[in-house]
Amino acid sequence: MGIRNMLVAGLLALPLAAMAAEDPAVALLNQRLVALQADMRTADVAPFEKLQAQQAIAALAKAKRRELDTARYLAERRVAIAEASARAAVARREVDQLERTRAELLIEASRREAARARQEAERLRVQAQIQAEEAERMRLAAEAETLARQDAETALTSVAGKQAARLTAAQQNAAKLAREEAELVSGQRLPGSKFDSRGEVFTLAGDAFAAGQAALSAGARNQAKALAEYLNIGKKGRVVIEGYDSANGVGQRRAQALKDALVAGGVAANRIQVAGKKAASTRARSVEVIVAP
């Protein structure tokens, strides 16, 4: 018989013991314990404390006159402990539910913000393309007159530069929000990254692998989880993984090990290209992950 079944059986038997003991404290304590068990919020929590309280009340009902004070004190304390334990368990349950709700709201807000940023980036990209086409048309129309063409090109170059800067800023903002979402969803940190002419470049440090080995360290596996989540947000484009080591074949195997981890994280294998570089792995770099713009 489990603790809960024992408690229910004991509670059903307590009124008889209370009548036999002729002690109002037994009935009162029994009523408090029955009320605790009848409450839907506290019925399934603190079973051990309730059982101890029920046993203490039963002992009070059977106590001799010289033992009554001690037995009554113990029974009152046991019932109070059962009530406090039940309230604490209910409070913990409510706190856990609030924390889950908060985490869900944070994730949803992050996703919405990332979606808005991606939409803005796409709008600016289309706008930049339209302006570029219009710039070319105006440049060709003004070709007959050198001065007019030069003035137009100067003005258009300025506009295109500002628009390109805005587009770059929007893309980087979208990437930043996507990184925050990936880290929030995966619970792991992404490796460091930068933007250059190749695209966005993530770099795993030298401690991602043991010396001369191609197996990912525990920290690198955690980074791979976050990176897989990031690559799946918005379904970013082609990915190139370049592994580094001075020994023959180690760089290629390192790149392949990271690819396997990303594929396990849900990234399509046909999006990823691997390459080994016969160059010394440094403290700052053992693998680079290049995400095409």
What is the distance between the alpha carbons of residues 30 and 71, in angstroms, rounded to a whole number?
A: 14
- Both 44 and 79 in one domain: the answer is yes
**Residue 217 belongs to what domain range?**
188-291
- Both 278 and 198 in one domain: the answer is yes
- Both 61 and 154 in one domain: the answer is no
Torsion of CA 110, 113, 114, 120, to 10 degrees: 180
Report the candidate in 92, 96, 94, 2 with the shortest Cα–Cα distance to residue 47.
Answer: 2
In a domain, 235, yes or no: yes
- Both 177 and 193 in one domain: the answer is no
Which pTM was predicted?
0.45
Quickly count: other Cβ atoms within 10 Å of residue 40's Cβ.
Answer: 6
Last residue of a domain, one of 184, 207, 230: 184
- Both 254 and 214 in one domain: the answer is yes
Last residue of a domain, one of 52, 73, 96: 96
| CATH number of the domain that residue 217 is part of | 3.30.1330.60
- Both 126 and 140 in one domain: the answer is yes
In a domain, 101, yes or no: no
In a domain, 143, yes or no: yes
Question: 272: which strand partners?
Answer: 239
Give the CB-side neighbour count of residue 5, counting CA atoms within 13 A.
2
- Both 151 and 219 in one domain: the answer is no
Last residue of a domain, one of 184, 215, 230: 184
Lookup result for tokens 């059903």: 12
Q: Show the CA angle centred on residue 23, arms to residues 20 and 28, nearest 5°.
A: 110
Task: Look up residue 284 and give its amino acid.
Answer: A
Burial per residue of 101-114, b for 16 or more beta-carbon CB atoms within 10 angstroms, e otherwise: eeeeeeeeebbebb
- Both 197 and 168 in one domain: the answer is no
Count of domains forming the chain: 3
Residue-by-residue pLDDT tens, the chain, 293 positions: 455 545 544 544 444 444 444 578 899 999 999 989 988 998 889 899 989 999 999 999 999 889 898 999 999 999 999 889 988 988 998 999 999 999 999 998 888 888 888 888 888 998 888 888 888 888 977 687 777 577 667 666 666 677 766 756 766 777 788 889 989 998 999 999 999 988 899 999 989 999 889 999 999 999 999 999 999 986 667 999 999 999 999 999 999 999 999 999 999 999 999 999 988 889 989 999 999 87
Report the candidate in 292, 194, 209 with the shortest Cα–Cα distance to residue 256.
Answer: 209
Tokens of 221: 């596996």
In a domain, 204, yes or no: yes
- Both 48 and 114 in one domain: the answer is no
What is the distance between the alpha carbons of residues 74 and 2, in angstroms, rounded to a whole number?
A: 24
Structural contact between residues 239 and 290, judged by C-beta atoms closer than 8 angstroms: yes
- Both 201 and 240 in one domain: the answer is yes
In a domain, 19, yes or no: yes
In a domain, 104, yes or no: no
In a domain, 20, yes or no: yes
What is the distance between the alpha carbons of residues 284 and 146, in angstroms, rounded to a whole number?
A: 52
Quick one: DSSP state of residue 271? G
